[in-house]
Structure 1
Amino acid sequence: MKVIISTVLCIMIAIIAIPYSQLRSMPLESLIICASNEGGIRIPAKVCEIYLHSGRNIQEDIVNLNQNDGLTFILHGKNAIKYDIAQFYIDNGLDINSLSKTTNLTPLYDAVLLNDIENMSFLLENNASLSIPSYRKHPTAIDYAEALQKNDNIDRMDIIRLLKSKQK
């Protein structure tokens, strides 16, 4: 009987320890993907989400995000949980207006480029700046959206209306 209890206990410890070990060595971006239940990571999304919120040095993660792709990376997720993850980091000091190192755009400009009204709404609700001059030719997100509207076959009028409604 003691052998059975010991074996079951060892198995339970292994079941907990192996994912924890994997989580500790996982890059932040992979952990965000895992928490979003994307990317085929075999650790349950809820486990990754809990670890993301309580098992890491959040301030180090924020510095890392601000120096790389930040909120843009998070908002490129496909699942709605991306907004919970983004809100968690914004609430803990992530700069909503930081430039992505990959695109050299703020998350707001990125939402304009992708014509993503849902991301745009989320960013505006969290007071994203309309006037950060990511592009010298387009000093505001409205200028950028209007330029894209003229030169692209994608209809961005909903984005433009939303931006103009927040400008007032």
Structure 2
Amino acid sequence: MYFNTKSPVLADKAVRKALEESIDRSQIAKIQFQGLDYTEPLSGSAVLYSLQKGYEDNVASVLKYAPDEAKRALDAAGWKPGHDGVRVKDGKRLEVGYTLLGNDPLDKATAVAFAAMLKPVGVRLVIKKADEADFSNILSERKFDLFLSRNRSMDPFGAH
């Protein structure tokens, strides 16, 4: 997940951390593997596969699913629950855009799952559809708040 730290709402480190703690990676994996007779451990590296020499899980110790902690962090950062459950600070609602490329059903299901996970914490996720051809432009010009991109390596030596 890419966070646009130049986005006004995501410039706040507490908000970024709360978003990370609100996402259940194991649920996202279930969505991605839906319909397949397949499971695997959650990825702990963006460089090596778990079966490769030198692999270390350097994600699990720093990225945890903890929505209650996320709520407390947002409270401490001044984001208070609004009348509709969406948090508010200085009159601004805690709304974050999520850029969804293309029409892949699994990507749509993932976006909807993100929105459902963030809602109880008090974050409104606004899903914004974009054309796959705009991928490079969206990233290079930072036309996003949140953006999901995965390495899909066909290389047996990992993602490079």
The bucket for the TM-score relative to the shorter chain is: under 0.3
Question: Looking at CA atoms only, which structure, 1 or 2, has the larger radius of gyration?
Answer: 1
TM, length-normalised to structure 2:
0.28
Which has the larger share of strand?
2
Larger RCO, structures 1/2 (Cα 8 Å, 6+ apart): 2
TM, length-normalised to structure 1:
0.27
